[in-house]
Amino acid sequence: MVIVLFCWVFISFIRALEQRYLGEGVLDGVDLQYDPSQIRVPGYGQSVNLKMQNPY
């Protein structure tokens, strides 16, 4: 019983941290489409090109 309560508190704490620091509606890996050359994000018209040179 104590272990179940601890797990519930821990999971609730992690979810609260996610909402505070990441925000609501954060995309998961299953929402993204990607391959070695690009990443497609739902809701955006253009994909992100991964082959472009890093400006930094």
In a domain, 9, yes or no: yes
Give the residue numbers spanning the domain of 23: 2-45
pLDDT of residue 55: 77
How many domains would you assign to the chain?
1
pLDDT of residue 28: 66
**Ordered per-residue pLDDT tens for the chain, 56 residues:** 777 787 788 888 777 776 666 666 666 667 788 888 898 888 788 888 888 887 77
SS3 per-residue string spanning the chain: CHHHHHHHHHHHHHHHHHHHHHCCCCCCCCCCEEECCEEECCCCCCCEECCCCCCC
In a domain, 29, yes or no: yes
| pTM of the entire predicted model | 0.43
In a domain, 52, yes or no: no
Asked if 41 contacts 27 with a C-beta cutoff of 8 angstroms, the reply is yes
In a domain, 53, yes or no: no
Residues 6+ apart with CB under 8 A from 11: none
Question: At CA 22, angle to CA 13 and CA 4, rounded to 5?
Answer: 20
pLDDT of residue 22: 65
In a domain, 15, yes or no: yes
pLDDT of residue 44: 81
pLDDT of residue 14: 76
